[in-house]
Amino acid sequence: MKKGAILLSAFLAVCGAREADAAAYASLIRVGTTAVPSATGTSISYVLNEAATSVTIEILDQSNAVVATFAGTTAIGLNTVAWNGRVDNAAGAFVADGNNNKVRITTAKTAPAGYVQITSQGHVSSSPAPAKTAMVDHAYPKALVVQNDQTSDQFGTVLVAFGYASYTPPTDAGAWMVLNSALDIVAGDNGYASRVLKHPTDDGTPPVPYDTAVWGGVWDGDRFYAVGQSDVVDGGVIFMSGLVTNGVFPAFTTDADPTGFSGAVGTIFPRFTTISTVSGNKYLFTTVGSGQVIASAVTDGSVTSAIPNILALTTTGLYSKQARFDSAGNMYFVGRRTGAGVGGRVFRWSAAQVAAAIAGGGSINQLTEANAQWDLTCVADPGEAVAVSVTFTPSGDVIYWDSDTGLYNIGNISTSSLVGNLPGTGTQILPAAGILNGSSPSETTSEVVSDAFGNLYLVDGGAEVVQSISPGGNSNTVVSAPPSQTFAIGGSSVDSWIKY
């Protein structure tokens, strides 16, 4: 597949690195009540990921016609605006009674070109504040998950995984916690995106005897999946699933080694997981061991079958890190190689290749180095391997993070074949030193993710830091409230109110 590959540097020279617009946006849009009395109004709250230049709130009727327009507040984080029920939120006419009214929020942002760190105060160690809670006192930030489905009740929520640094964690070893817009780690419930996702051992009275270090997770609509590793279960596999209902995160349903693959591949430790639909079936793709990916078929939170080895790489010492899918269904594998001067690797295979590997049952049409479309080598660190990660912006740019040198735009998903060295031929967004605040990076637990509008979030377990990085430029971002926030005026019933 590498024959005729274009070099990364040549691609960037011809096409250039794309730059997205600034992306201040509203999420977690809520109305004060779903049944608003006539000529009364209600409150409207929303969360801004960063401060906006201006905010416009619109009320739409059942036919999606705008029936009220007024200004909102622009501060980062939680905003609550009182609406008096009138067309202008002032002295205009009252909005007529009706069912299935909706809220739509347009956020304008004016910013200089380039990428900008929203804050450099993202440390999550015991000092400086905010301190980690006792629940994760022995844990380190390992992964990030962003809810990018705008129909979800939890759209815009950013979760941070905390997991113990070893394979034999204590009972307080891990939790998923909500990251708020100011990059604080929130452990309570103050009404603003602050509920805690945690595995069953967190409260000290575990319903199952598995001491788990959480590593990776993924949203599937309003269901959340997570994987971890344990010293109790052979192979170290812990699978957790929970359905978020009406914005409430439940306790995980935990299953030790649900895929049944630990016996097939020996002692393995899951790293990260993602989800994708292949040939009409939904699979969790979990990186394990060295150069391996397990495809586990899932239905409503249950694993129905597993294919142990769709990926079988032979590169010596290639420590499995991430499997990621872009919007075209191409699969990327990111690995960290051990040993001095060998760096990490990024491979990519097409959607058709992934489908063939799954159809082959993990023994036919496997994904290998030889048939990869992309083969990129990290050569930045001559002393030891570095943590590497990739994510994708809404425009299809591939963003690469290397904890030794920094954050880069390395190309676009439309490029069918790519071979080169990283990060030398990428376009740097920010250097690592400016992101890690002078702390030593992790060699294993570092990740970058993009939200629905191209903002980047980065976590590093060694530096114990979380950062948010926003693309510059002027923009207008429009977000509608999720279906769960449809409301009626005049006490009417809401005839198509969907609860999420």
Using alpha carbons, select from 96, 89, 35 the residue that is nearest to residue 65: 96
Task: Decide if pLDDT at 187 tops 90.
Answer: no
Lowest mean pLDDT across 161-165, 277-281, 358-362: 161-165
Can you say whether the dihedral through the CA atoms of 184, 189, 195, 198 is positive or negative? positive
Distances (CA, A) of 52 to 43, 108, 474: 20, 6, 11
CB distance 416 to 396 below 8 Å: no
- Which pTM does this prediction carry? 0.84
Neighbours of 74 (CB within 10 A): 17
How far apart CA 23 and CA 110 sit, in angstroms, is: 9
Structure tokens, 213: 């270090």
* pLDDT score of 218: 87
Q: Give Cβ neighbours of residue 249 (< 8 Å, ≥ 6 apart).
A: 195, 196, 197, 224, 242
Given the structure tokens 């307080």, which residue do they identify?
172
* pLDDT score of 121: 42
**What mean pLDDT is predicted for residues 244-256?**
55
* pLDDT score of 32: 92
Task: Decide if pLDDT at 38 tops 80.
Answer: yes
Q: How many CA atoms lie within 13 A of 431 on its CB side?
A: 4
* pLDDT score of 92: 97
What confidence tier does 477 reach under pLDDT thresholds 50, 70, 90? very high
* pLDDT score of 226: 76
Task: Decide if pLDDT at 326 tops 80.
Answer: yes
Neighbours of 328 (CB within 10 A): 11
Lowest mean pLDDT across 61-70, 133-142, 259-268, 327-336: 259-268
How far apart CA 442 and CA 376 sit, in angstroms, is: 21
Q: Give tens-digit pLDDT for 442-456.
A: 666 788 999 999 999
What confidence tier does 158 reach under pLDDT thresholds 50, 70, 90? confident
Q: In the chain, what are the domain boundaries?
A: 26-112+477-489, 115-471
Q: How far is CA 434 from the centre of its chain?
A: 22
- The proportion of the chain whose per-residue pLDDT surpasses 70, expressed as a percent, equals 64
How far apart CA 373 and CA 269 sit, in angstroms, is: 27
What confidence tier does 275 reach under pLDDT thresholds 50, 70, 90? very high
What confidence tier does 197 reach under pLDDT thresholds 50, 70, 90? very low
* pLDDT score of 367: 94
Using alpha carbons, select from 339, 338, 419, 346 the residue that is nearest to residue 378: 346
CATH code of the domain occupying 115-471: 2.120.10.10
* Backbone phi, psi, residue 255, to 5°: -135, 125
Using alpha carbons, select from 406, 488, 495, 410 the residue that is nearest to residue 446: 406
Task: Decide if pLDDT at 495 tops 90.
Answer: no
What confidence tier does 260 reach under pLDDT thresholds 50, 70, 90? very low
Structure tokens, 155: 């759209």
What confidence tier does 343 reach under pLDDT thresholds 50, 70, 90? low
CATH topology of domain 26-112+477-489: Immunoglobulin-like (2.60.40)
CB distance 413 to 398 below 8 Å: yes
Structure tokens, 496: 């198509």
CA angle 22, 194, 157 (to 5 degrees): 35
* pLDDT score of 213: 60
Check residue 16 and give left, alpha or beta (phi > 0: left; psi -120 to 50: alpha). left
How far apart CA 15 and CA 35 sit, in angstroms, is: 52
How far apart CA 445 and CA 173 sit, in angstroms, is: 15
CB distance 218 to 225 below 8 Å: yes
Distances (CA, A) of 304 to 237, 240, 242, 296, 499: 16, 14, 16, 7, 27
How far apart CA 164 and CA 173 sit, in angstroms, is: 5
* pLDDT score of 426: 76
* pLDDT score of 487: 93
* pLDDT score of 135: 39
Can 26-112+477-489 and 115-471 be said to share one CATH topology?
no
**What mean pLDDT is predicted for residues 334-343?**
67
Q: How many CA atoms lie within 13 A of 67 on its CB side?
A: 23
